[in-house]
Amino acid sequence: MSDQTAIESVLTEERVFPPPPEFAANAHIKSFEEYEKLYAEAADDPAGFWAKQAEALHWFKKWDTVLKWKEPFAEWFVGGKLNISYNCLDRHLTTSRKNKAAIIWEGETGEIKTITYLQLHQEVSRFANVLKSLGVKTGDRVALYMPLVPALAVAMLACARIGATHTVIFGGFSADAIRDRVNDCQCKVIVTADGGYRRGSEIRLKDVVDEAVEHCPDVTDVVVYQRTGSQIKMRPGRDHWWHELTKTVDADCPAEELDSEHPLYILYTSGTTGKPKGILHTTGGYLTQTVYTSKVIFDLKDEDIYWCTADIGWVTGHSYVVYGPLANGATVFMYEGAPNHPAPDRFWDIIERHKITIFYTAPTAIRAFIKWGEQHPLKHDLTSLRLLGTVGEPINPEAWMWYHQIIGKGNCPIVDTWWQTETGSAMISPLPGATPTVPGTATRPLPGIVVDVVTKSGKPVGPGEGGYLVIKHPWPSMLRTLWGDDERYKQAYWSEIPGMYFAGDGARRDKHGYFWIMGRVDDVINVSGHRLGTAEIESALVSHEAVAEAAVVGRPDELKGQAIAAFVTLEGGRTGNDELKDALRTHVAHEIGALAKPDDIRFTDALPKTRSGKIMRRLLRELASGGHVAGDVTTLEDLSVLEKLREDEE
Ligand code: WT7
């Protein structure tokens, strides 16, 4: 390798799955040639390509300039005026979609609610008037801390309608996390609920907000949506019931004509150090790319029932539960609760009953399904499904194959979509009627997206070589800055590799131009001078029949620089012993090579994960290097997992 900062890639995968011909014939993009033609056109004239996609939206006033770019600050569709709520709602009311289901929601407790576009428009308009009645003005920030109920989408769209900037805070976060976020962007109003349901118990959200608000000087009002009906404290003058306020306002609220660059939302992601980063997304460019990608990646049609299982508290929920699908006039299915409540077949039961056609979930969920056993999906009729998707992490080929065979019955294309909170919409993904898929790769960049794999100094690496995944041309739904901190924005994304956007992933491009994401570069392990991505070793471990999930980290080693430590959870019914450890080492050596053989293997019941399902390798690294966890653990989903691992250590 020419550059010592590159990352070695060791994984090879030969299975290829072309789009089923019938799917391709009916798809929005029907062949690989069509994709390549689009890609080439967009590469020639990115502004022209994106302007064409922006034509799909309703604009009160057309833009004057497609892109103003002064690295690293972008403005898209400058001079244009539009409203996202108008695009998601009003626009459909003059069409046959008026009485179509916009949202079908199922609570964990079993109730089902269907809201048509007309009804959603009314609810959103009313709630927008509620916000106005509380003094919320265009440009003000509003925090939303809610369970996964349609009212959360209503609140987002109501903010968008009047030009208030929302910040959704995932309903699993603590009072401290709320306080930090609300204060960072000076929210005036918090919208919450009495509670929500998760795995059979009630999560009491309002109590958490009460604790947080004590330390939020800018908050004047708290609006409470009634979901559970539990007893909660209401502070007179500050706290109001959603259902009472909505009775006091009328249902007519014209959508504000907003600048294309008007701030739509702030979404906080955890940085590696210090306080969370407030990713800022704006209006015209964001909607253009989410609408385009929703349409071509999910091949959305009017007859579809589309289910993205992400919580709305993550960017996936913003772009692919709410804004992208609704602006396309789709029927969006939402489920409030856990996948294993009351039983591990809840998702498959939902797919059968609601006849879901498109299903988009995360690799971490798929690995849990595999662990729970295929008897659960096999009990259900899943033939309504026509398309599957994944996002959030590299999907190991083993999990991909299971998803393809057990859920998709071999008939459904899988779209493995690579993107980030920062990118706003998908960037690298197969187009389901066009791109032959290969398990484990997000395949090619979308038309209009220019990505590359480079060395630390920005030189492209050769086919098959690992390096840094960068984006070389501004894209419409890119983050505009970090809220209130342009300097940190430059530092975090534009300083590592000169002239390019870099947000932390390692990748390689194979000889077909397909991109393989190798995980976060912070997670790279350096064994005897070879830089190995964790994702590939994990994937090799998981391809052993006894292994359900694996996390691999480096620990200091005098001889090799770093040694490989693997934390492994096993399939139901399997027990870990020395014999299995040996078998796993041999297996990895066979799949990748002796270089990648784990030095330590530790069996565990569960891996520490963030609330969005990502394995917290940093904690495992600390454990593997001496058993002492010093860093921040506030984003850990289940603290007991860490305690258990520590006990095993002793
Ligand atoms: C990071 C972004 C994008 C919405 C959910 C996560 C990893 C995401 C893939 C994929 C491999 C992926 C990357 C990325 N990632 N999708 N298809 N293949 N890795 O958003 O929390 O901002 O995380 O997730 O490491 O940088 P996020």
Domain ranges of the chain: 57-265+276-435, 528-649
Mean pLDDT of the chain: 93
Distance from the alpha carbon of residue 97 to the mean position of ligand 1, in angstroms: 33
Q: Given the CA of residue 416, which atom of ligand 1 is nearest to it?
A: 17
Q: How far is CA 303 from CA 100, 358, 556, in A?
A: 10, 11, 55
Distance 27 CA to ligand 1 centre (A): 26
How many A from CA of 257 to the centre of ligand 1?
33
Distances in Å between the Cα of 392 and the Cα atoms of 25, 225, 442, 443, 520 are 29, 30, 11, 15, 12
DSSP 8-state code for residue 272: S
d(CA 571, CA 584): 14
Ligand 1 centroid vs 308 CA: distance in angstroms?
A: 15
Alpha-carbon separation of residue 208 from 201, 231, 337, 506, 530 (angstroms): 16, 14, 19, 38, 47
In this prediction, residue 650 has a pLDDT band, given cuts at 50, 70 and 90, of very low
Kindly state the average pLDDT of the residues 207-236. Answer: 97
In this structure, whether the domain defined by 57-265+276-435 belongs to CATH 1.10.10.10 is answered with no
Q: Per residue in 397-444, pLDDT tens? A: 989 999 999 999 999 999 999 999 999 999 999 999 999 999 999 999
d(CA 578, CA 336): 42
Q: Residue 387 burial by CB count (10 A; 0-12/13-18/19+): exposed, middle or buried?
A: buried
Residues in a beta bridge with 68: 75
Q: How does pLDDT run across 123-137, given as a tens digit for each residue?
A: 999 999 999 999 999
Ligand 1 probe mutation, 364, 420, 522, 523, most atoms within 8 A of CB:
420
Residue with CA closest to ligand 1 atom 27: 420
Q: Which of 402-406, 491-495, 557-561 has the weakest average pLDDT? A: 557-561
The protein residue with its alpha carbon nearest to ligand 1, atom 24, reads 392
Identity of residue 174: S
In this structure, what is the dihedral angle of CA atoms 431, 437, 440, 446, given to the nearest 10 degrees? -30
- Taking the CA of residue 390 as reference, the ligand 1 atom at the shortest distance is 17
| Per-residue model confidence (pLDDT) at position 201 | 93
3 state DSSP class of 239? strand
Give the C-alpha distances (Å, rounded to integers) separating 294 from 260, 323, 432, 507.
20, 9, 12, 24
Strand 141-145 relative to strand 189-193, pairing:
parallel
Q: Please name which of 117, 108, 112, 133 lies closest in space to residue 189, comparing C-alpha atoms.
A: 133
> Sign of torsion, CA 196 202 207 213?
negative
To test ligand 1's pocket by mutation, which of 360, 418, 609 has the most ligand atoms within 8 angstroms of CB? 418
Reported as a single tens digit per residue, the pLDDT across 350-384 is 999 999 999 999 998 998 999 899 999 999 999 99
Residues in the chain: 650
Q: Is the pLDDT of residue 7 over 80?
A: no
Nearest-angstrom CA–CA distance, 284 and 41: 22
Sign of the CA dihedral with 298 first, then 300, 305, and 311 last: positive
Would you state the structure tokens that stand for residue 581, as one six-digit string? 């450890």
Among candidate residues 377, 434, 388, the one with its CA nearest the CA of residue 410: 388
> How far is it between the farthest Cα atoms of the chain?
73
Report CA(420)–ligand 1 centroid distance (Å).
Answer: 5
Does residue 393 or residue 6 have the better pLDDT? Answer: 393
Q: In this predicted structure, what is the pLDDT of residue 594?
A: 82
Kindly state the tokens that stand for 570: 């096993």
Gap from CA of 612 to ligand 1 centroid (Å): 10
pLDDT computed for residue 470 by the predictor: 98
Orientation angle between helical segments 46-54 and 284-297, nearest 10 degrees: 80
Which pLDDT belongs to residue 11?
59
d(CA 123, CA 128): 9
The rounded distance, in Å, linking the Cα atoms of 530 and 562 is 10
Per-residue pLDDT at 275: 73
Q: CA 593, 594, 595: angle at the middle one, nearest 5?
A: 90
Q: What is the dihedral of CA 330, 335, 340, 345, to 10 degrees?
A: -40
| Ligand 1 atom 11: residue of nearest CA | 394
Distance CA 586, CA 592 (A): 10
Q: In angstroms, rounded to a whole number, what is the distance separating the alpha carbons of residues 158 and 152?
A: 10
Pick 489 or 615 by higher pLDDT. Answer: 489
- In angstroms, how far is the first alpha carbon of the chain from the final one? 41
Per-residue pLDDT reduced to its tens digit, 533-546: 888 889 899 999 99
- DSSP string computed for 429-452: ---TTTPPB-TT--BSBPTT--EE
- 185-196 pLDDT tens trace: 999 999 999 999
CA distance 360 to 362: 7
pLDDT reported for residue 4:
45
Strand order in the sheet with 165-168: 239-241, 221-225, 189-193, 141-145, 165-168, 265-269, 277-281
**How many angstroms is it from 470 CA to the middle of ligand 1?**
14
Choose which residue among 9, 419, 435, 493 to substitute to test ligand 1 binding: the one with the highest number of ligand atoms within 8 A of its C-beta. Answer: 419
Which architecture, in CATH terms, is 528-649? 2-Layer Sandwich (3.30)
* Ligand 1 shell residues, CB under 6 Å: 269, 314-316, 391-394, 416-421, 442, 503-505, 517, 520, 612
- Name the DSSP class of 380: S
Nearest to 353 by CA among 588, 110, 589: 110
For 151-204, how does the pLDDT look when each residue is reduced to its tens digit (9 = 90+)?
A: 999 999 999 999 999 999 999 888 988 999 999 999 999 999 999 999 999 999
Give the C-alpha separation, 387 to 321, whole Å.
16
Residues whose CB falls within 8 Å of the CB of residue 33, separated by 6 or more in sequence, listed in order: none
Closest-lying ligand 1 atom to the alpha carbon of residue 315: 4
Show Cβ contacts of residue 145 under 8 Å, excluding neighbours closer than 6 positions.
168, 169, 171, 173, 178, 190, 191, 192, 205, 208, 209
Sequence-ordered list of residues with C-beta below 8 angstroms from that of 643, at least 6 positions apart, any chain: none
Q: What is the pLDDT of residues 59-84, one digit of tens each?
A: 999 999 999 999 999 999 999 999 99
> For residue 271, which of 522, 547, 544 has the smallest C-alpha distance?
522
Measuring from atom 6 of ligand 1, which residue has the nearest CA? 392
**pLDDT exceeds 50 at position 1:** no
- How many angstroms from the chain centroid is the CA of residue 447? 20
Per-residue confidence (pLDDT) for residue 3, from 0 to 100: 46
522 Cα–ligand 1 center, Å: 14
Distance between Cα 60 and ligand 1 center (Å) = 34
Distance from C-alpha of 377 to C-alpha of 130, rounded to nearest angstrom: 43
Residue nearest to atom 14 of ligand 1 (CA): 420
Instruction: Report how far residue 44's alpha carbon sits from residue 335's, in angstroms, rounded to the nearest whole number.
Output: 42
The identity of residue 487, as a single letter, is E
Quick: pLDDT tens for 237-265.
Answer: 999 999 999 999 999 999 999 999 999 99
Alpha helices in 74-221 (DSSP H): 84-88, 117-133, 150-162, 175-184, 205-213
Q: Is the peptide bond before 342 cis (omega within 30 degrees of 0)?
A: yes
Give 3-state DSSP helix, strand, coil % of the chain, rounded to 5: 35, 25, 45
DSSP three-state, residue 507 = strand
* Nearest-atom index, ligand 1, CA of 503: 26
What does pTM read for this prediction?
Answer: 0.90
| Residue minimizing CA distance to atom 17 of ligand 1 | 418
Cα 9 to averaged position of ligand 1 atoms, centre (Å): 19
* Ligand 1: nearest atom to the Cα of 428: 17
